[in-house]
Amino acid sequence: MHEGAVVGMADGYAQATGRPVLVNLHAAAGSGNAMGALTNAVYSRSPLVLTAGQQVRSAIGLEAMLANVEATQLMRPLVAWSGEPSCAEDVPRSLAQAVFEAELHRRPSYLSVPYDDWAAELDANAAATLERTVRRGLTPSEAQLDDLVKTVEAAKNPALVLGGDVDATGLFDRAVALAEHLDLPTWVAPSPHRLPFPNRHPLFRGVLPAGIAPISAALTGHDLVLVLGAPVFRYHQHVPGAYLPEGTRLIQVTDDFGAAARAPMGEALVADPAPVIEALLKQLPARATQHDYVGNPAPKTGEKALHPEQVFAALRDTQAADTRYVVESTSTNSAWWRQMDLRREGSYFFPAAGGLGFGLPAAVGVAMGSPDRPVVGVIGDGSANYGITALWTAAHYRVPVTFVILRNGVYGALRWFGELLGTPDVPGTEIPGLDFTSIAEGYGVPATTVTGEADLRDQLKTTPDGPRLIQVDTEPTTPE
Amino acid sequence: MHEGAVVGMADGYAQATGRPVLVNLHAAAGSGNAMGALTNAVYSRSPLVLTAGQQVRSAIGLEAMLANVEATQLMRPLVAWSGEPSCAEDVPRSLAQAVFEAELHRRPSYLSVPYDDWAAELDANAAATLERTVRRGLTPSEAQLDDLVKTVEAAKNPALVLGGDVDATGLFDRAVALAEHLDLPTWVAPSPHRLPFPNRHPLFRGVLPAGIAPISAALTGHDLVLVLGAPVFRYHQHVPGAYLPEGTRLIQVTDDFGAAARAPMGEALVADPAPVIEALLKQLPARATQHDYVGNPAPKTGEKALHPEQVFAALRDTQAADTRYVVESTSTNSAWWRQMDLRREGSYFFPAAGGLGFGLPAAVGVAMGSPDRPVVGVIGDGSANYGITALWTAAHYRVPVTFVILRNGVYGALRWFGELLGTPDVPGTEIPGLDFTSIAEGYGVPATTVTGEADLRDQLKTTPDGPRLIQVDTEPTTPE
Amino acid sequence: MHEGAVVGMADGYAQATGRPVLVNLHAAAGSGNAMGALTNAVYSRSPLVLTAGQQVRSAIGLEAMLANVEATQLMRPLVAWSGEPSCAEDVPRSLAQAVFEAELHRRPSYLSVPYDDWAAELDANAAATLERTVRRGLTPSEAQLDDLVKTVEAAKNPALVLGGDVDATGLFDRAVALAEHLDLPTWVAPSPHRLPFPNRHPLFRGVLPAGIAPISAALTGHDLVLVLGAPVFRYHQHVPGAYLPEGTRLIQVTDDFGAAARAPMGEALVADPAPVIEALLKQLPARATQHDYVGNPAPKTGEKALHPEQVFAALRDTQAADTRYVVESTSTNSAWWRQMDLRREGSYFFPAAGGLGFGLPAAVGVAMGSPDRPVVGVIGDGSANYGITALWTAAHYRVPVTFVILRNGVYGALRWFGELLGTPDVPGTEIPGLDFTSIAEGYGVPATTVTGEADLRDQLKTTPDGPRLIQVDTEPTTPE
Amino acid sequence: MHEGAVVGMADGYAQATGRPVLVNLHAAAGSGNAMGALTNAVYSRSPLVLTAGQQVRSAIGLEAMLANVEATQLMRPLVAWSGEPSCAEDVPRSLAQAVFEAELHRRPSYLSVPYDDWAAELDANAAATLERTVRRGLTPSEAQLDDLVKTVEAAKNPALVLGGDVDATGLFDRAVALAEHLDLPTWVAPSPHRLPFPNRHPLFRGVLPAGIAPISAALTGHDLVLVLGAPVFRYHQHVPGAYLPEGTRLIQVTDDFGAAARAPMGEALVADPAPVIEALLKQLPARATQHDYVGNPAPKTGEKALHPEQVFAALRDTQAADTRYVVESTSTNSAWWRQMDLRREGSYFFPAAGGLGFGLPAAVGVAMGSPDRPVVGVIGDGSANYGITALWTAAHYRVPVTFVILRNGVYGALRWFGELLGTPDVPGTEIPGLDFTSIAEGYGVPATTVTGEADLRDQLKTTPDGPRLIQVDTEPTTPE
């Protein structure tokens, strides 16, 4: 019902399954609609293969209605590659290229196909395209691995920083093994869109703050920081300072060429993190230590409405341990990490570029992509509107997903930001009058508003076999 | 609640007022969200001035969270101009340029402004920027006008084709005067987004069909075709044939440089149509003829639900003569023109690039921009979802606008297209289970479902002082 | 022998004739070679129509040898428009569009044509393309003209600033008439590539300096500055200050949309300057004044070699009054204007973007384009190398052109710039060991080195019927 | 003396040294001049780091003289990355990024730096940038290597195809070892810009023809084709056919992501070829075979002038065995390979994109980059003009390089092409009247014209300590 919601679903599906996903879009306007959601897919590194219709070849230059003018430029700079075959004969190869570019770069690609090309006969070479495979060999050399192992071995107080790629490439458990093996204090890289490490693990030190000086402060005392599968760093707030503490050496291992090239500090090794983890596990001795998980603090409580921590504690207590959460509620970020206890890979998904409209559709896509695990979307009342039509898809395909809408009636992140800047009365941050139960039912999704903690917990304990929406009034909070 | 809806509103507002409109967007994801709606603004030629936040200068290259990477490329090729000032000192001049580029080209422009620039002091030259004016002198020369007048005078059977620009630039009434003065059969250029001529006027010959051969057929017999304010032509369906009938000369007058340069046939004069109309009125004698408006045929009636013609006849009979209609219902196009009788300038707005998501927001924008005229949005049940959150804006600001949702439960245009192509069972064209009254009330807009023609007319006769939504079940129809 | 030289010739030819020029280039590398010269054509506003070969359609995506990868992007942002037809059928229309875009914007355009398209049969519609015309009506409205006339009439001390477009569009004589009619002190806009006004005319105030503060100083005292056919302004040196003197109003009339939109100050009217000149001449009374041309000062003399002023004085004294000069010798700029006395339109051509390699080829192109006027190229010994292979073209086609090479053995402009910046010993500014007589003869152009002023004058008095090169050793000078 | 020549020299230097090379260019026009030569550097995969001046920040938007408008777009799509720092503070990081992007992608990058940035003080973080390293770990995994080894082991009749990357990354000798170890018939990939294998080696099967069908024919009979360090394939002539023979499996190992993604057939492993070679050498048993080099045939002789084979035989017989040859003479391609016997790595350099203007400057650059090996440039009389000013650099820096100019007075490649197409009289393919001895001496390079084979050999036996040019009249030949 909107290409933005479709790409959000595809992003969720791709993240849940770890595989490329084909998304077929309308030409110019439809492709344009997708571009907001696409920014998230860029930073979640989802290999979406977007195809788009195009007018008949002879009508493109005329700018006939629905022509995609300069189609190969439209999606830039977001996509890894975009193309429009120069002739019908080149369509199969171009489509294969779109897939391979998306996979090689782990980034969306885009192919515009003129309408009349679909009527052309395949030639004999098309079969050669079907049989193609393209793989990457991004293992460090033995010498590079040895060098890394020695460096870690020699460090007095090394630390680990893990990025979303660790979870996205199935390394969650191996990262835990590595941290435990070497008894490494472990952070999650700032602005995370995935959770690569259990957040109540005793070695977990938290999500790094997203400012230059605060990161430096957090890492002070470590002579070596090993960053796996993350940019260094995805700052958000501008808090100037030294990039690293005096005397700290940083080594980044990532398969993201751009992230390596543009980083302001550190030594980068462009490679898959997996063989690095395995080499460290194999070549360095284990430090025998006990690792008991840490309990959550008692949730804060609200006065006029539930505090978000109460909601999250209820989720923690009632939902299965392997539940996947798709979260798009910026202003409850701090509450979230205090109350949740996520120990399985693939438990957490957040809009990777901070673009609103991911959460609700991605929850649908994640649920479609992982029928064996429960899925809960935790969505703010502002955010929910940006991808609201995914509700229809959830209803139409009876996707088993629970949407928890935190309704606090304000655009919390912006209001907080305004307060930080000394402008507490930013206009337009009040968003009263939204009733998501009504909206959801308009789209065919059963919905309730819960009136207290007990009611919430009761609702959460039930397990419908299709989608449902639970609206919870909550007190406004700030991200930090 | 979504940048696409915001740009749709701005497009409507710009069209209703004829003036540039400032739209402030979030950086990458927010700007991306706007790009679908922007395609419509490109072809409606709305001078939207889009500004976007940008990270602090030192964090852009790092791709910090919410950085707008290659911001000047993101909105291309849609915008007339995009820029990011090279330093804070250049912000005022750049913003002025964004405005002037939008006005000169009548096309959206885009300016990305780094966050820290806002803290810089203006220098003394900024005042010189504030005082700037930029105007266009796009009048044909006397020789060019004389030549045109003589050509029209010499034609034996000239015809007039009018484009959306005629209505958009306030020439509706002057175009009627010209047609009547010279007794010219008058068409509307294909794929219209505005109505530049009264559709029941006796000289009105209809909207030209959007195919090459059908246009040729329609224009056969005219030795001269004068096209004012339109591309030649905005074809849609691919129906090959000769661009023009044998012996027909076509002269296009447009201020759209690109439309003139890329046209496949005809003689183009890049200039404002207004002075051409005035020269023809002034220099050629009037042909005294009576011009009585033509009545509408009786509406077709539906069996299980209302036929769209019944809905439109009800609108025609109950709404004020100066009502502005914002229409986004492709599959009822033919029914629409049969039943409506629109005699005022600015009565009709349609998504100019065919991009869904314009109608509902644009109706809000048109209503905001023309408080002196009633506004009705006529929206299909598929289309409505693409800009649904504009309902909240309508509710929040109590915008007096009536949304009529035609609910037929199918994606009619695509289904029809599939049938044309011999694939009648295209999957995904059924869209059951939508209840827009529930959705609208969730967003704060009072809503009803009407159950028959009488009910519909009763509802339409009332005049609430804020927004309202009327859902009407209709029978599926095809565009032609 | 090099696409840069070819584009330089074409630029010269286009400027001499005032017409579009077709240039056919090799694909990627050949098109790339042309891009330096193209920058000059952008600012001289020459409507060059560049076409380029392209591999067969099925081989472009493969990046076969000589494929022009992303051909439509390669020449951006330099060209007004670039395209590659989506199919063979669209080649004629695309080529027509390339021509019209170049003419409408007065800027080069670029069309890439796949190799196999040339074998396709034209369809019937191609004839409609051949008959197309596209013209501009860029006359101000009567109201706009009246307003301008009244403004000039009311000014107490108006001044005129003329840009290259005045000469390029044949308005040299009309501009003189205007200045004399209203007794207007007249400047040439900074960084001129053409001479729009006689440089020894009593109303001539010189070329405006290319810095912000110096222009303000130069224009102080004028309540109105009317700028015709120029950007405001094409600064070069960064000398901050107020854009305009206190109390000065500036009105710019230009057909260059971009120049109007991006200017930092003033009121712009986007229109052809010609009707503005005519309206002022017609509607305002003449101020009867005598206008006697001003003589040149005695030339400075060199010690070890000729001073450039001696060379220019010799040119002035020996060459026909209607000689066209193509000049690419930056460091002799001041000497040039002191010694020359140019009273005819089209007498002076300079690289419009300051890109070296224009002078020598453009002299060939100007000579080819104006067989009725003598042509002299005045070229520095550094500059000459950038387009040296045009000598072969001059020889091969026996083009009657005199190249005067000023050999001072240094990269004068850069050295001067270094001195301004306090780094007098910039490496690489010595260019000894060049003998252009030897090079020229290698390319088939007869050449001599003159040894003194008398020898120079003797040589200059002869008139060979093909090309010749005169090498003159001169003393280093600075541009100012 | 011309940026094209400078980039050609830098490309040669980068290829000779295997290291990134910094090239500083003028802004718009200077950068444009470089773009032809840049196409060659793209396909030779030379990590050139291009920097360009830019106007002061506040003057860029104004398009002041020498502003580089949209500087980051100008060099696209040629460069791997282009940027302009958003503020002075970001210059060090941006420059580092330019270097790392060039190295990671082995492709030129481009950085535009505003003039006033150079005056800004470095901040404390700049030191962190200086210490950065970025490396790639592009080794295949053990499983990938095992799979490859087994595949080669199982093949009945495998063949090897080597690309320019093999020579460029120092694998020439290891490739010979591999071929000999497994007794593999070995081809060079089509359109080679380097020679990765000795051309008279008994396992050498020649350069693959650059057409689809001919390659298929050449590879018929092999069940496995292992392609190392090359695209599959860089076709040139369009000769349609099956991409591969029936039953042939092709495996491509390359570190070029784009080449892997866009190939039309085969299985690609994106990785460094080196570990693949080593794994095959280590894990598979040697097949003991004798490998005696093959002698050259007797050279063809010319009638009116020397046949190119006579020239090449003279080079072979007189020049040191480790001589590096830079060749830009397309029409003598077949003669070249018949007469040369090149057994050392880095012996052959050809314009990688087929862009003229590489040979003469690159010979200078190669000579500068390899003072321990003799360098000979073999240049056609058409080609020589495209980079002629490199002669001055050779003279000025006394670079020891021999230029052999083959003067046949025609544009041979184009004439041949015209004959293939049935248009034997293409205009403009005669280039008489060039005397490169005169030109060279004008640039300070000693030069002679040789009059016969003995004279040529005598000249070639001498060893001057600076540059020299030898002009040889030769008979026209065709590439095949």
CA distance D455 to D432: 23
CA of C68 vs chain A CAs: smallest distance (Å):
12
Would you tell me which CATH number, out of the four given (3.10.20.30, 1.10.3720.10, 3.40.50.970, 3.50.50.60), belongs to the domain A3-130?
Answer: 3.40.50.970
Per-residue pLDDT reduced to its tens digit, C45-101 = 999 999 999 999 999 999 999 999 999 999 999 999 999 999 999 999 999 999 999
Chain D residue with CA closest to A267: the answer is D133
In order of A477, B277, D320, the CA distances from B115 in angstroms are 25, 48, 63
* Chain A environment of C86 (Cβ under 8 Å): 57-58, 60-61, 84, 114
CA distance B199 to B196: 9
CA of B92 vs chain C CAs: smallest distance (Å):
9
CA of B294 vs chain A CAs: smallest distance (Å):
30
Model pLDDT, residue B442: 98
CB atoms within 10 A of CB C252: 28
Determine contact: D41 vs chain C, CB below 8 A. Answer: no
Interface mutation target, options A90, A109, A136, A278, chain D, most CBs of D under 10 Å: A136
Model pLDDT, residue D425: 79
Determine contact: D249 vs chain A, CB below 8 A. Answer: no
User: Cβ neighbours of residue D29 under 8 Å, at least 6 residues apart?
Assistant: C36, C37, C39, C40, C351, C353, C354, C355, C356, C357
User: Cβ neighbours of residue A33 under 8 Å, at least 6 residues apart?
Assistant: A2, A3, A4, A25, A26, B4, B33, B35, B36, B37, B355, B357, B386
Does this model's pTM top 0.90? My answer is yes
Going by C-alpha positions, the residue among D201, D364, D224, D208 that lies closest to residue D280 is D224
Identify the DSSP state of C125.
T
CA of A106 vs chain D CAs: smallest distance (Å):
12
Model pLDDT, residue C375: 98
Determine contact: C140 vs chain B, CB below 8 A. Answer: yes
Structure tokens at C115: 């190799």
Q: Is the dihedral of CA A332, A334, A338, A342 positive or negative?
A: positive
Model pLDDT, residue B55: 97
Per-residue pLDDT reduced to its tens digit, C390-416 = 999 999 999 999 999 999 988 777 777
A142-283: in CATH 3.40.50.1220: yes
* Chain D environment of B86 (Cβ under 8 Å): 57-58, 60-61, 84, 114
Give per-residue burial for B103-127: e unless 16+ CB within 10 Å, then b: bbbbbbbbbbbbbbbeeeeeeebee
Determine contact: A394 vs chain B, CB below 8 A. Answer: no
Per-residue pLDDT reduced to its tens digit, B232-256 = 999 999 999 999 999 999 999 999 9
User: Is C135 close to B268, i.e. CB distance below 8 A?
Assistant: yes
Per-residue pLDDT reduced to its tens digit, D244-289 = 999 999 999 999 999 999 999 999 999 999 999 999 999 999 997 7
Model pLDDT, residue B113: 98
Model pLDDT, residue A480: 76
CA of B78 vs chain D CAs: smallest distance (Å):
17
Chain B residue with CA closest to D58: the answer is B90
Q: Chain D neighbours among C 73-92 (CB < 8 Å)?
A: 73-74, 76-78
CA of B289 vs chain A CAs: smallest distance (Å):
36
Residue A51 three-state SS: strand
Determine contact: A193 vs chain B, CB below 8 A. Answer: no
Residue A4 has pLDDT above 90, yes or no: yes
pLDDT below 50 — which residues of chain C? none
Q: What is the pLDDT averaged over residues A361-377?
A: 98
From A66, A262, A434, residue closest to B443, measured CB to CB = A434
Identify the DSSP state of B107.
S
Residue ranges covered by each domain of chain B: 3-130, 142-283, 308-473
Please give the single-letter amino acid code of residue A470.
I
Determine contact: D115 vs chain B, CB below 8 A. Answer: no
| Ordered strands of the D324-328 beta sheet | D348-349, D324-328, D375-380, D402-407, D468-473, D447-450
* Chain D environment of C29 (Cβ under 8 Å): 36-37, 39-40, 351, 353-357
Residue A197 has pLDDT above 80, yes or no: yes
CA distance D261 to A111: 14
Q: Could you tell me which CATH class the domain D308-473 is placed in? A: alpha beta
* Chain A environment of B65 (Cβ under 8 Å): 190-191, 210, 234-236, 353-354
Structure tokens at A326: 């798709």
| Segment holding C10, helix H or strand E | helix C3-17
Q: Comparing A142-283 with A308-473, is the CATH topology the same?
A: yes
Determine contact: C128 vs chain B, CB below 8 A. Answer: yes
* Chain D environment of A243 (Cβ under 8 Å): 125, 128
Are residues A327 and A336 in contact, defined by beta-carbon separation less than 8 angstroms? yes
| Segment holding A315, helix H or strand E | helix A308-318
Per-residue pLDDT reduced to its tens digit, A63-95 = 999 999 999 999 999 999 999 999 999 999 999
CB atoms within 10 A of CB A303: 7
| Segment holding B52, helix H or strand E | strand B48-54
Residue B225 has pLDDT above 80, yes or no: yes
Per-residue pLDDT reduced to its tens digit, A381-397 = 999 999 999 999 999 99
User: Cβ neighbours of residue B127 under 8 Å, at least 6 residues apart?
Assistant: none
Model pLDDT, residue B418: 79
Q: How far is CA C333 from the centre of its chain?
A: 15
Mean per-residue pLDDT over chain A, rounded = 96
Determine contact: D107 vs chain A, CB below 8 A. Answer: no
**Which string of DSSP letters, residue by residue, matches A398-445?**
T---EEEEEE-SB-HHHHHHHHHTT-TT-TT-B-----HHHHHHHTT-
